[in-house]
Amino acid sequence: MRYILLVLTLMLVVGCGAQKRVVVAKEDKLPSWYIHPPKSTATDLYALGEGKSQKEAVAEALTAMVATLSVSVSSSFHANTVVKEGRVNSVDATYNNDVQSDVQKIRISNYSIAHSKALGFKRYAVLVKSNKKKLLIAMKKELDQKFFTISQEENSLSRVDALKQLAYYKRKKESFKSIQNKLLVMNSLDENFDASEYIRKTQIISSKYQSLAQNIRFSLTANNAGNYLIASFSKGLSQKHFSIKKGRGKFHFTIFINAKIEKANAYGFTLARTEIKIVTKDYRGTIIGSNVLNITGQSSQGFAIAKQSVIIKLNAMIQKEGIDKILGISI
């Protein structure tokens, strides 16, 4: 029995000694750039970031750098670290860094990692540095390239219909949401920076979009079975601020609605099984979009109410998916 107890004791001691231990540096051994990070100067920007990987730490540092450039960034950060002193220093930590931005993220592409250190337990810290002058030049080149690409793309727009042009300028407008914030950043990098030319270019794109939206018109036609569905499509287009009236020319489009309705009965309900074929053509008669919908209305009060159920379901589809998806076009 004594021999068995001795063997078990030796196994326990060896097992404990074989456990992997992580030694974390005490605070006095942390680098000075981490404890007292350098402040930004007239020529250079500095930002400290932490994360579960070096890549995440760099992203956090760049977000912090953007915040120093007077861009409105809303962040929530929670960190709780408990240090226990014993024969071996250990750290129990919960780390949660959830950065939420109220503005489009400003991409800082011109930077360098001045310092980097693993803090232990999958935590990394980095100090990122960016030269203000070089950063301004990089941002300016990015904007210049963006507008140059637009000017090249616009050369081919005359060969597509007005709806495709509208969709194009809508995408560009949406991509401009971050430009105002970027211009503020560029102005903070150099107070003599003149943003007027970039603002003028964005206004030109916006005015082109508005002009197209105001001039595009739709007319709707349907077979006898589909006449009662016209109002639903008209409402969907009106909610997009399009005019509904007959006309001619390159800004005019016609929607053809062809419906087939079958009456049926099931489990005491009257059914209105409806197939709706939708075709949209431009002023030259070219098909630019199409779709087929299959909707079944039902009612316990007769066929007329079942058909009204089809309208209710169609309206719900238009609201949920958008009139452009229902028509099979881009607007």
Q: What is the CATH number of domain 217-327?
A: 3.30.160.150
Q: In the prediction, which pLDDT does 270 show?
A: 95
Q: In the prediction, which pLDDT does 3 show?
A: 58
Which pLDDT tens digits describe the chain residue by residue (331 residues)?
555 554 455 454 445 444 444 444 455 578 899 999 999 898 999 999 999 999 999 999 988 887 777 544 333 333 333 333 333 333 333 333 333 343 345 778 789 999 999 888 778 999 999 999 999 999 999 999 999 999 999 999 988 999 999 999 999 998 887 787 788 788 888 889 999 999 999 999 999 999 999 999 999 999 999 999 999 999 999 998 999 998 889 999 999 999 999 999 998 899 999 999 999 999 999 999 999 999 999 999 999 999 999 999 999 999 999 999 999 998 7
Q: What is the pTM of this model?
A: 0.67
Q: In the prediction, which pLDDT does 70 show?
A: 54
Q: In the prediction, which pLDDT does 23 show?
A: 43
Domain with CATH 3.30.160.150 in the chain: 217-327
Q: In the prediction, which pLDDT does 175 show?
A: 85
SS (H, E, C) the chain: CHHHHHHHHHHHHHHHHHCCCCCCCCHHHCCHHHHCCCCCCCCEEEEEEEECCHHHHHHHHHHHHHHHCCCCEEEEEEEEEEEECCCCCEEEEEEEEEEEECCCCCCCCCCEEEEEEECCCCCEEEEEEEEHHHHHHHHHHHHHHHHHHHHHHHCCHHHCCHHHHHHHHHHHHHHHHHHHHHHHHHHHHCCCCCCHHHHHHHHHHHHHHHHHHHHCEEEEEECHHHHHHHHHHHHHHHHCCCEECCCCCCCEEEEEEEEEEEEEEECCEEEEEEEEEEEEECCCCCEEEEEEEEEEEEECCCHHHHHHHHHHHHHHHHHHHCHHHHHCCCC
